[in-house]
């Protein structure tokens, strides 16, 4: 596959996959998801690779979720909602290598979900986390909700989704959403240090451990399947489309006038 939306690099047993759409804050469209799925499969089954790092290019954003300019009732790709997001989330969990989210800026919306489902998350002090779904007529049912609750607790997960606030890296660390926070100029060195430590460990033992962790939460995949079916129907509603229009027109949405 010829990559247009991502960068792929391998060094010292570490594959780095970077979303390369800085002009839209590394938001993903259908093609971005396809390329990410391809890259994770490519790295995940290469025995020379021991760790995968997921990040975004530039200093402003890790990823800000679905590209609203590619959203017109459905996104511009395949799958239940026009994005193969279920497949992308699944491959991050299924590859037998630890996946580290390197978060240097905004991890918002679907980007926050990607950081959540990675095995480990290392953040810059400048990073910000949060959800926007109910602000733009969307939601990520499944790993974005149920799995988030396993990490930060039910009360905090509901706060994140219902209020759509933004959280600093320090706040994310306190709630267990990230593993460590470092100054921005030390982020790459910290990621490299964690990768080097993992490369010294037994890859088979780590693969078994990852599958064991996943086995406890794989039922969420079924929740996600049902949720995405409902989300597809919701995207066709005036209420959801009001969120997209308001976002693109840079105004506050009026959801309640469309509520049925």
Whole-number Cα distances in Å, 154 to 68, 150, 164, 190: 28, 7, 15, 30
Would residue 176 count as lying in a domain?
Answer: yes
- Highest mean pLDDT range out of 27-31, 65-69, 245-249? 27-31
Q: What are the residues facing 7 on neighbouring strands? A: 18
Q: For 17-66, write each residue's pLDDT tens digit.
A: 999 999 999 999 989 999 999 999 999 999 999 999 999 999 999 999 98
Q: pLDDT value at position 81?
A: 72
The CATH number covering residue 16 comes to: 3.90.226.10
Residue 129 lies in a domain: yes
- Count other C-beta atoms under 10 Å from residue 249's C-beta: 9
Residue 212 inside a domain? The answer is no
Q: Which residue has the higher pLDDT, 7 or 229?
A: 7
The per-residue pLDDT of the chain, averaged, comes to 93
205 within some domain = no
Count of alpha carbons within 13 Å of 200, Cβ hemisphere only?
A: 5
pTM, two decimal places? 0.93
Residue range(s) defining the domain that contains residue 42: 6-184
Q: Alpha carbon of 191 to those of 21, 104, 122: distances in Å?
A: 22, 11, 7
Give the confidence band of 172 by pLDDT, cuts at 50, 70, 90. very high
For residue 93, tell me if it sits in a domain: yes
pLDDT for 108-161, tens place per residue? Answer: 999 999 999 999 999 999 999 999 999 988 899 999 999 999 999 999 999 999
- Given a contact cutoff of 8 angstroms between Cβ atoms, the answer to whether 206 and 98 are in contact is yes
User: Do residues 108 and 133 lie in contact, with contact meaning Cβ atoms separated by under 8 Å?
Assistant: no
Domain for residue 251, yes or no?
Answer: no
């Amino acid at each position: 596959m010829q990559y247009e939306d991502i960068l792929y690099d391998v060094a010292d047993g570490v594959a780095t996959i970077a979303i390369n759409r800085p002009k839209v804050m590394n938001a993903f469209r259908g093609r971005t998801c396809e390329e990410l799925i391809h890259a994770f499969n490519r790295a995940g089954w290469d025995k020379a690779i021991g760790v995968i790092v997921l990040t975004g290019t530039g200093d402003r954003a890790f990823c800000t979720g679905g590209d609203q300019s590619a959203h017109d009732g459905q996104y511009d790709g395949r799958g239940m909602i026009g994005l193969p997001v279920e497949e992308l989330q699944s491959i991050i969990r299924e590859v037998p290598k630890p996946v580290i989210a390197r978060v240097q800026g905004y991890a918002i919306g679907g980007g926050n979900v990607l950081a959540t489902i990675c095995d480990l998350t290392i953040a810059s002090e400048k990073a910000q986390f949060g959800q926007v779904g109910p602000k733009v007529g969307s939601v990520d049912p499944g790993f974005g909700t149920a799995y988030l609750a396993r990490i930060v607790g039910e009360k905090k997960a509901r706060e994140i989704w219902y209020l759509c606030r933004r959280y600093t890296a320090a706040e994310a660390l306190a709630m267990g959403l990230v593993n460590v926070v470092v100054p921005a100029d030390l982020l790459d060195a910290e990621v490299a240090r964690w990768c080097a430590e993992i490369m010294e460990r037994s890859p088979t033992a780590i693969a078994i451990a990852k599958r064991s962790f996943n086995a406890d939460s794989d039922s969420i995949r079924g929740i996600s399947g049902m949720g995405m079916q409902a989300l597809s129907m919701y995207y066709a509603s005036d209420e959801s489309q009001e969120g997209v229009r308001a976002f693109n027109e840079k105004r506050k949405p009026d959801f309640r006038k469309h509520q049925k």
